[in-house]
Structure 1
Amino acid sequence: MDQDFKNTLEIMAKDVEDDLLSCFEKPFDAPDIIVSAMKYSLFAGGKRIRPVIMRKTCELFGGDIEDVRALSCAIEMIHTYSLIHDDLPAMDDDDLRRGQPSNHKVYGEDIAILAGDALLNYAMETALVGLQNLSPQQKNNGIQALKILMQAAGVDGMIGGQVGDVLAEEDSEMNAEKLKYIHSHKTGAILTASLLCGAVMADTDSNSLKWIRQYGEAIGTAFQIVDDILDVTSNTQVLGKPAGSDLEEHKTTMVSLYGLKSAQEKVEEYHSVAIQALSNLSIDTSFYVQMANFVCNRVY
């Protein structure tokens, strides 16, 4: 990983972390256990890729990072809630997340479900509070960005992809098209939304939005394929979650469907699509090139 890119990620991730901590400074009118469960997963050491991408995109397109602070915290809360629910026995049934016991292993399934629900709702509350402080023009952009985010997190995005993933376990006619739908929705939708939200808050033109969307969809899909590859090639200590769980749970992945080599070739194909999309933008795209390299080269 390029050192300048690594430094940027670390500095911006720390900034996101500080903002997330500030979201929990207020008192909550709820039992302590639910707030504890929310914080347990939210502050479990994630790289904050999605909020960092949103903030950096806003900056690169000439916007003000201050305008996306709240929205970027919201996207991290949504991402975290999805991980809590993914780990549940009824879903992926994983006991580890980021090297620590999954939320339901610490707090029980009932509190884990509610902690995920709470983070999703608090994400919306956080985003809306942030909108209150914007100028009239930026409020309009903020509403558009929030719509993009919630659609990406909902039935047309992440939820749809997760349902497809669940159904795939019993689908004897699974194919590349169905798998692409799962990847682009379950993982790609939220990552793409982080780019689009940042660009919208910078009042970016529609043509640039088209190419940044194409870039996001490519690296988002590649991200999930890389996860599938690492489940086979890596180990639990490195991953921070159980390796080999896809095989154990009989999940259909690019690897199980077409083999490891084909899956790696598909990652390279999506990497090329992402880089080609960037060539149509008139801004400095070096951050995005490094991000594509980071996402796709995790397999090596």
Structure 2
Amino acid sequence: MGLSVEHHESDRRWRWQWQRHDLAGTVSKLKVKVEVTEDGFRVEEEVAVLADDALLAFTFEHIAVSTVDVPPARVIRAIGELARLIGIEGLVAGQVIDICSKGLSNVGLEHLEFVHLHKMAALLEAAVVLGPILGGGSHEEVEKLRNFARYIGLLYQVVDDILDVTKLTQELEKTAGKDLVSGKVTYPKLMGIEKTND
């Protein structure tokens, strides 16, 4: 199994090829071409969704099959934790609420924090707690690390929101002001830049 990335700086394109050898020796390949534009990445949507689905499924397969010398109960707990954090109680919920919030004027701070706790913070939470769960950390240790990841996730989003309105596209290496143009709810939009900086 493997993911190879080929980058051509001259034409600003990446080509990803994911391949897997099954037990019968058959090779399954999924090729994705990605082009970097001023607005980010451009990928054929259908292919991107399929690549995402394949990599997501592979994540669970990898944990289940490749985790060795760990009691099965811990592996199952880790898989459940990851599924919760990226599923309808986590990342998916945050993304749906974020998309549905664009252009709304009656969104409050609690709503915005929900979105960010269920997006970037959920991804960080998964990355931070899976190791201690698999390694046999206590409930208290896992919860302390969970809170740490949530705070870092929120801090990341606050900083990202500030940079989006205070830096130029060249400095960010992504389109500055994109959140404002798209009507996205951000901390500076709700609280103003000074309070957000505090």
- Gaps of at least 5 residues in structure 2 are 5-16
User: 1:24 deviation in Å?
Assistant: 4.7
Deviations 1:204-229 (A, max 9, x none): 11112221111111111111121111
TM-score normalised to structure 1 length: 0.54
Structure that is richer in helix per residue: 1
Is structure 2 residue 39 aligned with structure 1 residue 95? yes
Is structure 2 residue 81 aligned with structure 1 residue 148? yes
Residue in 2 aligned with 1:207?
Answer: 140
* Aligned partner of 1:37 among 28, 32, 35: 32
Residue in 1 aligned with 2:64?
Answer: 128
Q: Is the 1:152–1:158 contact (alpha carbons within 8 Å) kept by the matching residues of 2?
A: yes
Pairing 1:100-179 to 2, within 5 Å after superposition = 102-104=41-43, 108-131=44-67, 134-135=68-69, 137=71, 139-179=72-112
Is structure 2 residue 131 aligned with structure 1 residue 186? no
TM-score normalised to structure 2 length: 0.79
User: 1:136 deviation in Å?
Assistant: 5.5
SS at 1:37's partner residue?
strand
Residue in 2 aligned with 1:3?
Answer: none
Residue in 2 aligned with 1:240?
Answer: 173
Runs (4+) off by over 6 Å: none
% identity of equivalent residues: 31
Pairing 1:11-50 to 2, within 5 Å after superposition = 24=18, 26-27=20-21, 29-30=27-28, 35-37=30-32
CA separation in 2, counterparts of 1:182 and 1:169?
12
Higher-Rg structure is 2
Change (3 A) 1:128 1:235: farther
Deviations 1:186-221 (A, max 9, x none): 110110121111111221111122211111111111
Q: Is the 1:161–1:182 contact (alpha carbons within 8 Å) kept by the matching residues of 2?
A: yes
User: 1:37 deviation in Å?
Assistant: 1.4
RMSD between superposed Cα atoms in Å: 2.6
Q: Which moved more, 1:179-188 or 1:162-171?
A: 162-171
Q: When the two structures are aligned, how many residues end up with a matched partner?
A: 180
CA separation in 1, counterparts of 2:109 and 2:172?
25
